[in-house]
């Protein structure tokens, strides 16, 4: 009987862990993104996303997003309220008509995006709220994911 209770308790514990893990985050270990096929960018960071509107980068970025970000920021970047909506980042940029304003708006959103993704974020108690990807992502990976998000943002703006 004792043994039976112990096993049942263990099984319940596992179920709880599995369920809470899936609900809270899913798999949130940073995964490298395979950017084969994209023009290499080297070590020096570009001022703003060199891959914007690049179809191959958008495709690679969508895979990178799915593996690394979707668990918290939502499938197809449709936020479920657990983490900020990433389609807001360049929302104002995509509808700008002046090319200069548009470029500078995207540059600001690129800068901000790059900083948060590489360094992550911590709350006031020092607990990590947003993981940092600086140790696993190349420059190519960061910009490919941003290209995907900007494409999604532009598509949303068109459909509204
Ligand atoms: C474990 C959950 C989790 C994962 C995985 C995650 N994020 Fe986040 N992210 C958050 C949370 C929570 C915040 C808000 C953090 C805060 O403000 O303290 C955030 C904030 C951000 C912000 C700032 C948004 C804003 O409006 O200020 C960006 C950009 C971002 N994440 C991009 C990404 C990208 C890109 C990925 C995948 C490479 C990713 N995140 C993976 C949880 C996550």
Q: Which of 19-23, 80-84, 86-90 has the highest mean pLDDT?
A: 86-90
Per-domain boundaries in the chain: 1-28, 31-159
For 31-159, CATH number?
A: 1.10.760.10
Q: How far apart are CA 116 and CA 111, in angstroms?
A: 9
What tens digit of pLDDT does each residue of 36-75 get?
999 999 999 999 999 999 999 999 999 999 999 999 999 9
Q: How confident is the model at residue 81 (pLDDT cuts 50, 70, 90)?
A: confident
Q: What count of other Cβ atoms lies within 10 Å of the Cβ of residue 136?
A: 14
Give Cα separations from 50 to 38, 110, 123, 139, 149 (angstroms): 11, 10, 31, 10, 14
Distance of CA 132 from the midpoint of ligand 1 (Å): 9
What tens digit of pLDDT does each residue of 127-141 get?
999 999 999 999 999
Distance of CA 7 from the midpoint of ligand 1 (Å): 38
Q: How far apart are CA 123 and CA 142, in angstroms?
A: 23
pTM above 0.75, yes or no: yes
């Amino acid at each position: 009987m004792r043994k039976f209770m112990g096993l049942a308790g263990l099984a319940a514990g596992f179920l709880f862990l599995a369920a809470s893990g899936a609900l809270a985050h899913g798999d949130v270990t940073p995964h490298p993104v395979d950017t084969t096929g994209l023009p290499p960018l080297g070590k020096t960071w570009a001022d703003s996303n060199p891959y914007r509107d690049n179809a191959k980068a958008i495709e690679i970025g969508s895979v990178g997003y799915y593996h690394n970000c979707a668990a918290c920021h939502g499938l197809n970047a449709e936020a479920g309220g657990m983490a900020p909506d990433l389609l807001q980042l360049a929302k104002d940029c995509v509808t700008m008509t002046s090319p200069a304003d548009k470029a500078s708006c995207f540059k600001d959103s690129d800068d901000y995006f790059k900083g948060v993704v590489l360094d992550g974020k911590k709350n006031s108690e020092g607990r990590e709220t947003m993981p940092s990807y600086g140790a696993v992502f190349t420059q190519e990976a960061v910009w490919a994911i941003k290209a995907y998000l900007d494409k999604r943002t532009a598509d949303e703006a068109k459909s509204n």
